[in-house]
Structure 1
């Protein structure tokens, strides 16, 4: 019988991807599948703390092992802002507003180094494990590309001359911060069956 595991997300696309990678050993459910409609507050001060808050909430209230992720953009010249506030950097939850706000804040700055970071918290059999993925890059001064979301139109990963928003989804999914963290999680789960 497959082990049950909750991915603390409502995103069906992300759930399907992980479900495919972990079958037949794991049955992956998401928040919708377990009937969780509560918007779990992210009150931590780090990606790891926020991810752990989400996975702990599910384990405590639904008694099923769970993993959750938290991600964001860290800009070197802005002391790693927006960081955990990436999704609401401008004060609103809107990709266009946040991107515009960040570009305004960076103004004439020449240091454009940035990184995307994801931290996954997995609570399995009462133990909390963490998996991190980071991709380094630089920020463009103007958005380019139609694919992706968030800050993807201005983030150019090191070694590429296109932004995340110009990449095919398959290519981005092989190198992204989330993909790197998820690969570590999947390897760990496959080895601990």
Structure 2
């Protein structure tokens, strides 16, 4: 069986990626990454995803997948963007959401998008794909599912529920992560075997 490293220490992402990728990777064992976290000093989601995938490949010698993702809010000039996980300076999801709501207080235009860069690195080969999920930032947190900014994000292609109010299968069908990793697997599928 072929092995593929999921280059993340985020347990939520591991569960979600295994769910999203599982049926597309028959005969491939997805393994977690226990190596050191690299310094994410890229200026884009794509650069940071590649940094993580390269680090996992260098550490394990096993072809590696990684993602970098976050929310980009138009009224905040694209912030939190690549700083989504540490926007409030605490790395706490609730603090990050609270700061976004504070910054959007009184703002009518609340367009936002989740962005995911999915990267694959193997010997002599690298590839990145982007997935975008447009929507708006709601006026308050709703729902208990998902993680990160899900309780604030209301997808444009939904029925008015927040991402945290969607079931896992519903979210997986339309999310930025699904879009990015589906495109990535379509592009590099033959190299996974």
Q: TM-score, normalised by structure 1?
A: 0.89
In the alignment, is the contact (CA less than 8 A) between 2:37 and 2:52 conserved in 1? no
* Matched residues, number: 187
Find the counterpart in structure 2 of residue 49 from structure 1.
Answer: 47
In the alignment, is the contact (CA less than 8 A) between 1:22 and 1:190 conserved in 2? no
Gaps of 5+ in 1: none
Find the counterpart in structure 2 of residue 113 from structure 1.
Answer: 111
- Distance (whole Å) between structure 2 residues aligned to residue 142 and residue 60 of structure 1: 42
Find the counterpart in structure 1 of residue 25 from structure 2.
Answer: 22
Gaps of 5+ in 2: none
In the alignment, is the contact (CA less than 8 A) between 2:5 and 2:62 conserved in 1? yes
- Distance (whole Å) between structure 2 residues aligned to residue 15 and residue 147 of structure 1: 16
DSSP-derived class of the 2:180 partner: helix
Residue 145 (structure 1) shift: 1.2
Higher relative contact order (CA 8 A, sep 6+): 2
Map 1:1-193 onto structure 2 (within 5 A).
Answer: 2-10=1-9, 11=11, 12-14=14-16, 16-17=18-19, 18-24=21-27, 26-32=28-34, 36=35, 38-160=36-158, 161-192=160-191, 193=193
- Distance (whole Å) between structure 2 residues aligned to residue 159 and residue 27 of structure 1: 32
In the alignment, is the contact (CA less than 8 A) between 2:140 and 2:152 conserved in 1? yes
DSSP-derived class of the 1:6 partner: strand
- Distance (whole Å) between structure 1 residues aligned to residue 111 and residue 18 of structure 2: 33
Structure 1 runs (4+) deviating above 4 angstroms are none
In the alignment, is the contact (CA less than 8 A) between 2:116 and 2:180 conserved in 1? yes
DSSP-derived class of the 1:142 partner: coil
Q: Please give the root-mean-square deviation of Cα atoms over the aligned residues, in Å.
A: 1.7
Residue 19 (structure 1) shift: 4.3
Residue 15 (structure 1) shift: 5.4
Residue 125 (structure 1) shift: 3.3
